[in-house]
Structure 1
Amino acid sequence: MSVFEFFFKYKPIVYEKGRLAFQLIGSPGWFILFVLAAAAGAYYAYRNVARDKYSNGLLVLRAVTFSVLAFIFLRPVLNISTVLPQESYMAVVIDNSESMNIKDDGQVSRSEQLQKQLESTNFFKRLSDKFKVRIYRFDRDAERIEHMQRLTYTGKRTRLESATDLLYQELGSVPLSGVVLITDGKDNASKQWTESLSRLEARRIPFYTVGVGSESITRDAEIVKVAAPRETLKESTAVVDVSYRSYGFSGRKATMYVRENGVLLKSQEVVLPPDGEIAEKSIDLPVKNEGTRLFSFSLQAQDDRIPENNTLDALVEIKNDHPQILYIEGEPRWEFKFLRRAIQDDPNIRLVTLLRSSQNKFYRQGIDKEEMLAEGFPKKREELFQYKGLIFGSIESTFFTQDQLKMVVDFVSNRGGGFLMMGGRNSFAGGRYQNSPIADILPVQMSQEDRTPVIGKLKLAVTPYGQTHPLMKLSADANANIKQWSELPPLNDFNKTLDQKVGGIVLARGQTEQKGPTDPILLAYQRYGRGRTMAFASGSSWRWQMEMDHEDMTYELFWKQILRWLVNTSPDSVMISSDKDTYLPGETVRLDAEVSNKTFDRMNNAKVVVKVTNPDGVTESLPLDWNGSQEGVYQTELNASEPGIYQVEVNAAQGSENLGKNRTAFQVQDRPVEYYDALLDTRFLQSVASATGGRYYPLSKIGDVPEDAVYVTGETSFVEQKELWDVPFLFMLLCLTLAGEWFWRKKKGLA
């Protein structure tokens, strides 16, 4: 017997679900009249007491005494609906997933704790005395079982809707008094859980949820998420953000390991955050091998009790497709010469340059066709859009037509290209770009005045944010990186700009000999539409090459990183992707293709076919259909059951015109998803119980369910009266008020 039952005779659920009534007066509303009469009687009893001996406390105590006596005299009862024994069904639904094998305390698994509680409370025997019991197990799928021995706790995923769907199918037409849901509350596979539950909720079927597990695991370090680019250029640096958390390891050190196709690349020491908090580590990965590469990230902490959740993978497609960048320069200068030389030996980037040597005469380099750029800067979209990056050097805005400038904006926003403006006497405001369409896409604002570039020495100073950005990393070591930047020769000029725009990110500023109110912006970028833009407000970075040791590669490294960043996310006319890079065996894979023509207009009437090659080398061709809601987006789905990496190639055509092809990959891996985010989700189970009119129980209170579950309204229930006149608390209250009044009267000299 609990303390509550000792004082109030019945369990809390009886008071929660029961309705108060009185056998002598019916409606409990009439009892208010008796309370008023008790107050009047108390006042009448003390009406003639002298003022110095009168107290409102005496009046209240007498009124309470009269009210309690009236309450007992009127024979109060609780009317509560109670099911008839063996006239209705009770479903017991038990989680059969792998998470039930977790040992929260490091000693006893969740399934073992459940079994002990069921046996010690004689749960099923007591429940069977009142209901026709049906037992179900669920993980990704659900099924009815005859006894507990059928529970294996080997399910790879938890899909609660599979259980509710099965209950609706099998017990939808029989009197179902309730559902006992025993789980840790984690659902990682349901897609329409709310809709599935609502069908049972409409029948007013209560869920008695039982939470198995703990809300705090004593020792666990877990990798929560790996955010990596799905594709990148060969010889680039992929930035991967690894999120992790821990319990019981706050402030302790752990080691993060990175492997490529099983080969260890690097390891780094990390400090584990406070319990439950998520920390993030950015890792720079030089990618040198072309093709589909599998990177694994694992976190190892000593005495970790759930090692199954220490590793996550990222599948990255390393491409070697030689993206083209068009660089137009208005005059011969050192920056042009040294930049071409820095990129000359790069096997992955094709730099096509257009140098104005005199009026209406251009010097073309890097072209592969004689007619390429023969008439100067492109005048047609299909000609410009074949490039993935575009660089404006020192060339005035009036060189271009308004249509060409608008086409450049479209090149960034719709085509998704990268745009860079470099400093020079005819760049930024010096080239009168502040009133042109180009002003909209730059990450910095330009002044209407001070158009002439400033000539004078200034040091490039990396901003705090820039120190963490891969573009500004000359060395893997943070301190060495700062030192290397500080030792570079000063620049010789810069273009004045105003502040960065709302979405602009400043990576570097200039420090001049004469300090101004703010250091000028030297390097900034922003996203614009589908593309990205950058401003480098100096034309003298070539000095880093001229004035440093001939073996120093800082200048080359800086510009190679800039140009790769410029085109790394620029899409092709035909793109293919999966909704994620890793699936469980049998899980549905969704493929999305984006199809455009050469001018990057989205095409809804193309013929799109994808070829999927499984790990055994067997290829299957699947048609993709336009999804009907997004321009140029085609979709298909497939089931992949065999573990390994699947190669995907898409081809698109419109009539006889080939629009293009592309490739991606995904992997199928039987990974232990049930061990991730493994804490007991009490809040979710409480919300299910509350929404359905049931109750939530910790596992230690599962023995209360058989007694509580009988109080439910249904076609097989009757109204039972629970008498309240003999509740111990009423007599204790009566004794307290009488004793309290007597002592108070004695103190006042009235007794």
Structure 2
Amino acid sequence: MLALLPARESIGRTSGRDPRRPSESTCRRCRRSRMGRDRAARDADLLSARRRRTGASPRTAPAVDDPLHRLDRSLSVQGRGPGPDPRFQHQRRRNGDRSRADHGRRTRRAIGCRKIPCRSRAGRAAARAGIGAAGREFLRTARVDPPMADGGGVSVRATFPFDRRTREVDRGARGDEPMSDWTLEPVAPVWIIVLVTGLGLGLLAVRSTHRPLALGPTRTLGAIRIGLILMMAVAMLRPGCVRTVQRPQRVTVAVAMDVSRSMELPHEAGGVSRREKLAEAIRENAELWRRISERFELKAFVYDGELREASVVDGVPALPESSDGAQTDHGQTLDRLAEQLRGDRVAALLLMGDGVQNADFPRVELPRALREIEQLQAPLFAVPFGRTGADEAFVDVAVTNLPDQYAVFVKNSLTVRATVRARGFVNRTLPVRLIRIDASGAEEIVGTAEVTPTKPDDELPVELNYAPQEPGEYRLVVRADVQPREVVERNNELTAFLTVHDGGLKVLYLEGRLDLEQRYLRRSLAASQDLQVDFLWIDHRDRSRWPLDLTSALSDPSYDVVILGDLDSRALHREGATDGNLKVLADRVEKGMGLVTLGGRHALGPGRYQRTPLADVLPIRINEFEAQDFDAPLNGALHLDRELSLRVRESHFLTRLGGDDDEQAWRSLPDLLGANRIAGLKSSSRVLLETDREEPILVVGSAGGRVAVFAGDTTWRWWTFGRSETHRRFWRQMVLWAAGLDSLGRDAIVVDLDRRRFVQGSPVTAEIGARTAAGDPLPDATLQARLIGPDGTSDLTVPSVGALRAIEVSPELLTAPGDYALEVSAAFDGNDLGSRRVEFVLFDDDREKGVAAADPEQLARIAAATREAGGDLVAPERLRDRLEQIAESPIETEIEIPQRWRLGDTTADAALFVLSFVGLWATEWGLRRRWGRG
């Protein structure tokens, strides 16, 4: 019986049209239902993919019950002939002699389609089989034989264009099918073609009124005319033929080998490298590789961040001599591998590496790449090399989380914090050292610590303290001792840079009240790297222990400035005594130490300082009877209890807030909420700030050392009103002036590098400038910069004007990893301000060797994506067994490829048909002329 294939269904050739799209014979509702059509096509794809993956014949019973297997059962792929569908037997019994049309409507309703193509026997077979949308899509391209005489089943031969294979599904009947199928694709409904053909043949029976011809010529012309009519009918029916041909096929086995730098790490502690172990695994199985290359097409690849083809020498994959890949990206590797093998029939894939994934930004996500690999429908065998972090034999000590630069002033204490990660050293003491390296390269241990892990994989913080005694540029190395059986030693230390400034100041701050003023004052001073503030709070509620003995701290020569806050004098001095804390403080001030006193409820006069040795060094006079008792109401005679707006009485280093107009800057600050009333001034004192009623607020003087009295205690309002920078500047200048460092030529060169460790290839930028000791920028200073590196010295381009000028080091100058230095020199108004040199390091961030542990779990996840096809994780010791299995596996060397021919599809057969038709017509015309009928 002639089987009808859908029109324009191009099998075995490219037509630019989806081969699974329904033909014109499909009903209108099905053409509109794109969702159903796509779902049906997907179901058919999955059915074909499932069979190819498992290698089972269409008669193999499914392992699980899912929609695809239900479709197989509906088509009787188990090899059973179930006969009429039981779902419709009750209808046949109930309806009995109902019309076939009525039964057809019920059947079509059951399978979800109101109208089955009238010319599609496949559709009627689907209805009788009781299958759903996936079955209709399967049968849409099928050749359907009529039911057997006993009504037991239907034989269906379906061609999958996307599979390039022909599968046979029997329902009841078995047997070989012919290798070719004839089709008709009429250009018009068949009844029209039959009508036109019949009319043409009928016209031949009409007798001519001309002189009749002899019997022979009449029959000849009639035969020619019948031939022309039949040729027209054939052209309208558009016959075609689909046949299958056997083509030889080469099956591929692909192997991908890791060539990243992590493969240079030891496979086992103290053993050969992972790369050597991989090469050994290939070399020991050379004979099996040759057997595989004889039966299969062996393709070799290497991968790191990219996939590249490798050579196969004498049937054995060739591993490069070195592994120098900077990173590993499994997603990109597998995606490219699937792309390379997409047109091949793949028997097996082998992925050999350590499984470490360390790409910063993977270009292809691993789940997507695994879906592509799964489409190859071949097993992937992952072969891991290297020990895992969970392996008891794997041990490692690494130093992490170390800042890359520090800045501190001479004599100031520096705390270096880092993290030590230890694996496999439970309850073992691990020594950690802080090493200082000077410009000559000499090393000195300046701090030690010990850590004891309590877990198999533990991270422990470590702190090391160091107080540099000499200014300069240094390198600090936090180093953990190398332990026995460690695989990677390069991660046992980290390097940071230390800049030690000359002239660092140490400040002692004594305070009696924990209010907002002391909080924001300490915060502002802490923002200056050259200031170290030691804070001491003396609680007034513990007055029974007064006076405290602080003579050792006050006599410490390392302190350059002392700040007295809101602190009653009785906390430090016994009334009537001629020695003690304040006597020591007064002597230190007379010898040059700076003193800053603040206002407050119990400061200055209310704190009874007029009766202490400190009264002689203060620049103000205090009345004899000024005093403020604890828990007593505020004495208004001793305080200015109102909001105070400040103005500059005398321009001074302490009154500079930056900008051109200091007066306007002070007027714009939030008002103080009060201050101490200053009763009088000494002759040598100077008033720098006052209220709008000319009441002194900031008074300075000298008594050997510099002394400043600031009567306010609410400058914290500047910070909370958004003027934090002004607050920091004012109090920094106060300490610098008290220490005598305001006009000693402390012009500084600023070289600001955000980092001091740079990865090779990353941009290196810096901001440079010049400033005064008070922090005032010098935007017109002349700056020059040059780069000093392993390859020599190079000048850098510097903008001519600006407080901070951005410069960028060209990547062409950073050619190799190593130590570099940025040297900046400055001049202002013809005066040389000196130069400053800042070092930084450019290193190759070898993440491949920074992770000592292998990751076979990653390879196991990759292999699990092809588990249904037989994929698995294979230990290197079991690689030989797996290669033998591949070498002995049966393969199909031929493939059935459908080829289609249709009348008029090619220029040759169309031209031949037209020429034949025209030639036959011309022959008929010529014979008529010859015989006198033209």
Q: TM-score, normalised by structure 2?
A: 0.40
- Structure with the bigger percentage of strand: 1
Q: Which is bigger in relative contact order (C-alpha 8 A, separation at least 6)?
A: 1
Larger radius of gyration: 2
